[in-house]
Amino acid sequence: MLKYQRTLREEIQFEGIGLHTGYSVKLTLVPAPPETGIRFRRTDLKNFEIEAVRKYVAKVSYATTLMKKGVMIATVEHLLSALYGLGIDNLYLDINSLEVPILDGSGGHFVEEIHKVGIVDQEALRKYIVIEKPIEVRHDNKVAGVYPDSVPSATYIIDFEHEAIGYQEIRIDLDPESYCREVASARTFGFVADVEYLKSLGLIRGGSLENAVVLDSSGIVNNHLRFPNEFVRHKLLDLLGDISLAGFPIVGHLHAERAGHAIHTALADKIAQLRSHYQIRTAVELEPALVQAAV
């Protein structure tokens, strides 16, 4: 478990288009001092800041959108997932438009470029949300919850009628190495049958076969899958991006079934509300318990 807070060694720049807006966008990841957290800055709006925390969640239809005083940042989940998965605590995200670039539809490019410049430890100790009692959000057969566990871990289950997806399940212990290996490169996915409806809502204007796995009634339209169960891996990627909005990394077992952004972010909100169900501890405070658990 990471002991110190972390940021990047130097800046990184990305250029691309927004999945839903189709707008061109430039994004720069800028190292930030300890205790800054993850903060978006709209460079086209005098560096207006929006902290990546659950109280600024505004929309959760087909993506997670943050809004503060009427200023928006859309489709934040893939970028936030990469930062959460790599254990990066402090960063300014300078962006000149209202949507994070979709790139290839995964967190893979973010991870690759971050590895190129490097991650550095900072002087401040890292803080964790240590789950002591279960916290759940349920809606019909959809559920997202977090449960006591000695290490960060996660399970995701999906079950689609489409024969190319069906029932899929993944369970992993969460650390930067497993995130990069098992989750980061899993792409978002969608269905040809939904395209016209989504476009009527003003969505997926930047969507293409280059940034999503697309399915029709007969199967997968574009190229091969990166994993046999790439679909559930991407859902886990989304969950980690959304749960990062709770404010600190979680020591506990995340579990989601048939969920989505609405339930993911509702879980982040419920974690913040149920303060009696967890403790906030530094890695140093956790070390004796971790050593005992390993024995």
What residues are annotated to the active site? 261
Distance between CA atoms of 68 and 166, rounded to whole angstroms? Answer: 38
For the chain, give the longest Cα–Cα distance: 57
CA 61 to chain CA centroid, Å, is: 15
